Amino acid sequence: MTPTEIIGELFAGPGARDYLGEPVTIGTHMLQAGALAEAAGADPALVAAALLHDVGHLPTGKANGSRRGLGGSSPRASSDSRHGEDGARWLSRWFGEAVTEPVRLHVAAKRYLCAAEPGYFGLLSAESVRTLALQGGPMAPREQAAFEALPHARAAVAVRRWDDAAKDPAVTPPGFAHFAPLLAALVRT
């Protein structure tokens, strides 16, 4: 199987399940985020990062018979800060840092925005507020400065904003097949 086919199976299988208390499935949430990035004119790697940002929540499925998350934990437990790291690590076998780093940093971007942007916290869903506490809460000033200095910080903030907006049960995003050629073109050979 190609990397795109493996990822597509995750969207079709585990991605069709509930998304930790959100009003859409995990797969629909990620497809909405990818569509929002595409509509914003983001470059292909950033569209891929938005599309794949929560892949660390998905169990590995048929690939190894596991019902565990990509990092080895249950999907519910992976709602903490590890799902970004787990997803980025899993994706790094096929994609470069322009895709994987915004995935890895999207949790930190939430913590950053909660500290740096007045009113951002009020935009979070109830589940995002709950997980924020597990993820370390809003960043301290030193953490904010360190985050801002990271090469992919701005991309991670963009992914985070699409993540927040991609929980609308009234929106039907394009299916995974729409994004498959974009992902295939980004796979390292």
Domain with 18 in it: what CATH number?
1.10.3210.10
CA distance 167 to 123: 12
The predicted structure's pLDDT at residue 81: 64
Instruction: Give the Å distances, CA to CA, from 131 to 10, 98, 118.
Output: 23, 25, 19
CA distance 111 to 150: 14
User: Which residue in this structure is represented by tokens 């004119």?
Assistant: 41
Instruction: List the domain range (segments joined by +) for residue 166.
Output: 3-186
For residues 121, 56, 78, 83, the Cα torsion angle rounded to the nearest 10 degrees is: -50
User: Which residue in this structure is represented by tokens 């963009």?
Assistant: 158
The predicted structure's pLDDT at residue 23: 86
Question: For the chain, what is the domain count?
Answer: 1
> What parts of the chain have a pLDDT lower than 70?
19, 60-81
Pairing between strand 59-61 and 66-69? antiparallel
